[in-house]
Amino acid sequence: MIVRDLAEAERTERRVDSKGWSSVRLLLKDDGMGFSFHITTIEAAAELPMHYKHHFESVYCISGEGEIEDLATGERHQIRPGVMYALNNNDRHILRARSELKLACVFNPPVTGREVHGPDGAYPADPAADLARSA
């Protein structure tokens, strides 16, 4: 059993900071769960174009308000507490925060913690990962 506390983890290298957001990785690949689990904070007024080419991601809004724009369709979905979106097609999207967003994020395959964002805004593929897609 692994037990971790966000308040402690955010004072360690589990926390990563970038422009407009920070993320605390409570579970990473090394934990062997087959997914990673992150609590991510998006700053108010941030507008983040994102494209996870090599990962599926689900995002559940714990607090805050914003919207996600699906760049394939132009559709905009409102984000508020209780709304979840899942990028099951490696969807290109823009996330906009009207107020600070607290999000619970799951990645498959799990993030290793050693990724850096490429110039395209994506995390690179983990060469060691099996992309555990369900049929």
Comparing CB distances to a second copy, the nearer of 103 and 119 is 103
The per-residue b/e assignment along 24-36, b for 16 or more CB within 10 angstroms, e otherwise, is: bbbbbbeeeeebb
Tell me how far, at minimum, the Cβ of 35 lies from a second copy, in Å: 5
Position among 56, 66, 101, 123 found at the interface with a second copy (CB under 8 A): 56
Site for a second copy in 76-115 (CB under 8 A): 77, 82-89, 91, 93, 104, 106, 108, 110
Considering only 2, 11, 19, 116, the residue that binds a second copy (CB under 8 A) is 2
Binding residues for a second copy, rule: CB under 8 A, are 1-7, 26-27, 29-35, 37, 39, 56, 58, 60, 62, 68, 70, 72, 75, 77, 82-89, 91, 93, 104, 106, 108, 110, 128, 130, 132-135
